[in-house]
């Protein structure tokens, strides 16, 4: 379940409680990354890849952590650039996530 009685998704609530409004999540079932700043969120490429080094389209394949992709997340978090990345992804993506959805 993604929405509680207050109308905010669990990831949104967690980002405020533990990340001062910014967070990075890995949606393993969807094989996507999800970044948050405030009530805005954006999908980003997952750091997990299949044996061919690609983000799998189908569930059930074994996944491995790609350290180059992971380091992008680490640098984003350590460099406090999550907000900029959320805005960049939202302005260039066809998929816009409704505020507070996750």
The per-residue pLDDT for range 41-96, each reduced to its tens digit, is: 888 988 988 888 888 777 777 889 999 999 999 999 999 999 999 988 888 877 66
Tally Cβ neighbours within 10 Å of residue 55: 17
Question: Per the domain annotation, does 52 fall within a domain?
Answer: yes
d(CA 71, CA 51): 19
Question: Per the domain annotation, does 18 fall within a domain?
Answer: yes
31 or 100: which carries more pLDDT confidence? 31
pLDDT, position 99: 61
| Total structural domains within the chain | 1
**Domain of 20?**
10-92
Give the predicted TM-score (pTM) of the model.
0.74
Q: Give 41-47 contacts, CB < 8 A, sequence gap 24+.
A: 41/11, 41/12, 41/86, 41/97, 41/101, 41/102, 42/85, 42/86, 42/89, 42/90, 42/93, 42/97, 43/89, 43/93, 43/95, 43/97, 44/85, 44/89, 45/69, 47/72, 47/73
Question: Per the domain annotation, does 74 fall within a domain?
Answer: yes
State pLDDT tens for residues 3-54: 443 556 788 888 888 888 888 998 877 888 899 888 888 889 889 888 888 8
């Amino acid at each position: 379940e993604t929405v509680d009685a207050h109308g905010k998704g669990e990831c949104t609530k967690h980002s405020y409680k533990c990340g001062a409004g910014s967070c990075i999540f890995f949606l393993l079932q969807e094989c996507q990354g999800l970044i948050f700043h405030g009530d805005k969120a954006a999908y980003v490429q997952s750091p997990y890849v299949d044996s061919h080094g690609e983000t799998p389209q189908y569930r059930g394949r074994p996944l491995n952590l790609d350290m180059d992709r992971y380091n992008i997340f680490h640098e984003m978090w350590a460099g406090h650039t999550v907000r900029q990345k959320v805005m960049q992804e939202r302005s260039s993506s066809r998929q816009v996530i409704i505020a507070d959805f996750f």
